[in-house]
Structure 1
């Protein structure tokens, strides 16, 4: 209980300081998105959080709303703009999640919140990830990010849930900053090789 309270105090203090310190940058990014992409500036999507409780995650919008002749959205690769790719590479699109941290929906460090439709596909061990708040960055992100398989990523999430501490959070945050600076672990949308979790596990069930 003491560790949980300390982690929450750490999250509140640091996220508030980051929001205040980065406010000019946040305003500039918001203005550029409004000019280049139009409204809305912030993308939000329902994700499962602590104890599987749904919440809306916030991100700066990086894609257009371009559709085909039948009104269907084009692929991510076709809708991602040059500016959007830039703020993704620098992880600046994640800045609005500091609001999620202040609201208590997320932590600075924890398993990344995935899609609602993935919920039926986690193993019993992998569901350990829901025993802690999801994070802006996490153990999986500093260990390979999109270069890892789903099994590897979710195992790291379970390990974090079982062993999290303030010292580990500080270590993960420092390594995350280094990786963002070096732009390590970023994959272009057009080069994504990792299938969706539900698609991968459904195909495995079918093959069995």
Structure 2
């Protein structure tokens, strides 16, 4: 068994244990709250259901393929399959109860089963975050040989090194015949193991367990098939990078056409019923959060008011969906003359794009630094969400001056409402280069889903606690 297979199996066993724990905790807690600690003839059936729940939950999740390695480690597929399995478990319980005329209290079923599913999602999220921290330390990584042209290899290597949570460590490359490999081996420190014909030997020499083939005309279908045959003997994974940039698998379907497999790409879901659901969830959640954070909002407002001259709220015109202008609300974190001093600080800009960011901005107040560190200055944007101008999750709301210099493809960010948080915020915020921030926003626009929103919201909490890139 390879090193990768060992840690992957340990991870799957941990998932099963988490699901068992979720079932035990949800069942026992619901039973105790509903019936206490006394077992009677009336609640005996519920005791049996409570005992079966820890077994039924992993079985249902296994049927929904929530333990398959292809859906684990990154992405939202794992959570979608857990939720799908949970819905199936609830529906199955209802059908069996009706068919056998079982007298089960709906309140017990609707409390125990959903809480077990939610607990499973939370525990899986925590387990994944632990895995990502281990990967940031260089553990539980796949050793990757990248096959393709030099510029493509350099780009994918930089991206994978920046986003180590994907778990792919590039250890070598194979280039087309005639390539010198100076650009790959020099600044990137990769070993060039030869040409496309040397991939199998490169895997053995580098002790790799994964081969990533980038888009290149030299490797057609027949060549890839022969490569797959050579790699399958050693159980080495073959990953083919699609030329479709940042298009999620949920939007792609293989459809045979006269024996030829065709890749059908669905349009992104920018309108329709799910968008209405997102609108409803955004506004209800914004209202509830405003009520819940009322004391915090009042306390922050007093701190801003008492520590520096000027208004409590900072208002600024931003560009929303389809280019519509709106006024954004934030707690003021700068001195009142911040805009006037922008010109004298322009040469200190640490961003490489249209944004202006400096780590130690002298225009930021003492309280403002603390507010920015924990993103508390963003809380008034809940008003914008409640008014329908913003979403809880979406691309960063840009300034009109930034939009004026957008390239055509960057304007795609305006196809959806801007958000209080998004992929770029949970991936490094101001520490990210401009091109990477744009790429993450475009990825969100192209692949939006309710489950992705949920994952981003969960990751936002950890990003705020780390406060990395917040300045």
Which TM-score tier does this pair reach, normalised by the shorter chain?
0.7 to 0.9
SS at match of 1:30: helix
Over aligned residues, Cα RMSD in angstroms? 1.6
TM-score (norm 1): 0.83
Q: Is the Cα–Cα contact under 8 Å of residues 41 and 61 in structure 1 kept in the other structure? A: yes
Q: Once the 2 structures are TM-superposed, how far is the Cα of residue 159 of structure 1 from its aligned partner? A: 1.2
Which of 330, 337, 348 is 1:59 aligned to?
330
Q: Once the 2 structures are TM-superposed, how far is the Cα of residue 81 of structure 1 from its aligned partner? A: 1.6
Higher relative contact order (Cα pairs below 8 Å, separated by 6+ residues): 1
Q: Once the 2 structures are TM-superposed, how far is the Cα of residue 78 of structure 1 from its aligned partner? A: 2.4
Distance, in Å, in 1 between the alignment partners of 2:429 and 2:299 is 28
Q: Once the 2 structures are TM-superposed, how far is the Cα of residue 66 of structure 1 from its aligned partner? A: 4.9
Q: Is the Cα–Cα contact under 8 Å of residues 111 and 135 in structure 1 kept in the other structure? A: yes
What's the counterpart of residue 99 of structure 1?
Answer: 383
What's the counterpart of residue 194 of structure 1?
Answer: none
What's the counterpart of residue 296 of structure 2?
Answer: 25
What's the counterpart of residue 40 of structure 1?
Answer: 311
Aligned residues: 183
Q: Once the 2 structures are TM-superposed, how far is the Cα of residue 39 of structure 1 from its aligned partner? A: 3.1
Cα distance per residue 1:157-208 (max 9 Å; x no partner): 1111111111101100110111101212224xxxxxxxxxxxxxxxxxxxxx
Distance, in Å, in 2 between the alignment partners of 1:162 and 1:66 is 39
Where structure 1 has 5 or more consecutive residues not aligned to the other structure, the ranges are 188-208
Cα distance per residue 1:50-97 (max 9 Å; x no partner): 001011111100112258xxxx54758223121110011010000000
| Within-5 A mapping of 1:66-145 | 66=337, 72-73=340-341, 77-145=361-429
Distance, in Å, in 1 between the alignment partners of 2:449 and 2:310 is 39
Q: Is the Cα–Cα contact under 8 Å of residues 57 and 100 in structure 1 kept in the other structure? A: yes
SS at match of 1:174: helix
* Distance 1:120-1:81 versus aligned 2 partners, 3 A rule: closer
Distance, in Å, in 2 between the alignment partners of 1:35 and 1:58 is 19
Q: Once the 2 structures are TM-superposed, how far is the Cα of residue 123 of structure 1 from its aligned partner? A: 2.3
SS at match of 1:59: strand
Where structure 2 has 5 or more consecutive residues not aligned to the other structure, the ranges are 1-271, 346-359
Q: Once the 2 structures are TM-superposed, how far is the Cα of residue 116 of structure 1 from its aligned partner? A: 0.7
TM-score (norm 2): 0.38
SS at match of 1:79: coil
SS at match of 1:80: coil
